[in-house]
Amino acid sequence: MYGAPLTTTAEPAFEAWSESAPPHARGSIAGKTPFQLFWERFREDRVALAALGFIVLEIALALLAPWIVTLLGHPPNAQYPETLDPTYGTPTGPSRDFLFGVDTVGRDVFARVLYGARVSLQVALVATALSVGLGVVAGMLAGFHRGATDTVISRVIDVTLAFPILLLALGIASSCSLGNGCAGGLIKPGLSTVIVAIVVVNWTYIGRIIRGQVLSLREKEFVEAARAAGAGSTTIMFRELLPNLVAPIVVYSTLVIPQNILLEAALSYLGVGINPPQASWGEMLAEATPIFATAWWFFLFPGLALLLTVLAFNLLGDGIRDALDPKAA
């Protein structure tokens, strides 16, 4: 059997042991990357796969939104006053022309839900990436250097965590939502304000988690080895420690995405988020709430979109965590 690939080798003595293992895992003791291991576990999780499929579909729809609305002929901000009841000005429900009905100014709810997905996904990805990036760097610095650096960063985290998140975000968003924004025009009203507000309140959790991980990792032998080999602090942090933090970062990110989507929706619902006439699910829900009893479609569709998206990201996050860390499952 000399020269045959390792994976086909099966010692009879091990037969009994591997009976219960799935066929593809048979003999797969060596030669797998962490990603392969992850993927093998993940693809068994049908719920997480469905969630992933939904998210991929949603991203595709959001990217294609401009073409889709061109096909339908109703741009998201175009107003069709003739679709409103001429006596009361109330919106009309789903029809052949307007699949999800129209809103209070006669705009196509379908087109706006579609464009709302763009806002939600942008916030989900950009705000999460920024807050995770900030949290990881701060957590690594605190955990690696300890001492005064740790004290300062940890206290800042403690103070930030002590704030009621929504109120803090509301404060930031409303002070930056007027005129030319805040911080000398750096933070413009609208999407960037929302993202900044979310990053400011959300980087702390990941910061704490990473700090804890680094505190234990920095005592490991491979760090000592790297240091003995002459590596500097930055090299050790980003070359040696960071790869070992991928699992918590990925897990945490997928779990924080739905939180961020909800936070954006909450801010827009409270009127300090996205600027009109740009569509956002939160803002649509805010406008739909008072007329819920008579215009259910205006409330239902953005609500459903928000619910499904958040659910999908949560399920995906759970699936990823289970696959990365079977012990926790």
Partner 1 sequence: MSALTRAFGRRRVAVTAALLTVVVAAVGAAAATAGSRQAGGTITVLSAGDVDHIDPGQAYYSFTYEISYATQRPLLSYRPNSINAIPDLASAMPKYSNGGKTVTVHIRPGVRFSPPVNREVTSADVKYAIDRAFSSSVANGYAGAYFGDVVGAPMKATKGVPDIKGIQTPNKDTIVFRLKRPDGVFTGSLGLLMTAPVPQEYAKRFDSQTTSTYGMHQVATGPYMIKNDSSGNINGVGYKPGQLIDLVRNPNWSAKTSWRPAHASEVLFKEGYQDPTVMTRTILSGSADVNGDSPPPPAELRSIMTSSSERKQLHFTPAGGSRYVALNTSKAPFDKLAVRQAVATVLDRNAMRLTRGGAIDGRIATHFLDPSFKTQGFAQSGGLAFNPFPSAGFRGSVPKAKALMRKAGYTNGMYSGPQVTMVADNSPPGSNTAQVVAAGLAKIGFHVKTISVTHSTMYTKYCNVPKNEPNICPNVGWLPDFHEPQAVLNVTFAGDAITPVNNSNWPLLNDPKINAAIAHARTIVSPQARWAAWGKIDKMVTRSAAAVPWVWENFPSVYSKRVTPAPELWNGGSPDVTFMSVSGS
- Name which of 105 and 250 has its Cβ closer to partner 1: 105
Q: How far is the CB of 105 from partner 1 (least distance, A)?
A: 5
Q: Interacting stretch for partner 1, rule CB under 8 A, among 92-100, 251-259, 289-297, 316-324? A: 289-297
Residue from 81, 164, 232, 326 touching partner 1 (CB under 8 A): that is 81
Whose Cβ is closer to partner 1: residue 139's or residue 181's? 181
Does residue 175 bind partner 1 (CB under 8 A)?
no
- Check binding of 293 to partner 1 (CB under 8 A): yes
Residue 61, judged by CB atoms within 10 A of its CB (0-12, 13-18, 19+), counts as middle
Q: How many whole angstroms separate alpha carbon 202 and alpha carbon 315?
A: 20
Which residues, 200 to 259, sit near partner 1 by CB under 8 A? Answer: none
Residue 127, judged by CB atoms within 10 A of its CB (0-12, 13-18, 19+), counts as: buried
Tell me: does residue 275 bind partner 1 (CB under 8 A).
Answer: yes
Buried b (16+ CB within 10 A) or exposed e, 105-122: bbbbbbbbbbbbbbbbbe
Q: Is 295 in the site for partner 1 (CB under 8 A)?
A: yes
106 binds partner 1 (CB under 8 A): yes
Q: Which sign, positive or negative, has the C-alpha torsion 58, 62, 67, 72?
A: positive
Cβ(200)–Cβ(193) under 8 Å? no
Contacting residue, 77, 192, 235, 244, with partner 1 by CB under 8 A: 77
The CA-atom distances, in angstroms, between 74 and each of 13, 66, 71 are 68, 10, 8
Q: Which residue among 294, 307, 311, 326 contacts partner 1 (CB under 8 A)?
A: 294
Binding site for partner 1 (CB under 8 A): 77-79, 81, 84-90, 104-106, 177-179, 271, 275-277, 287, 290-291, 293-295
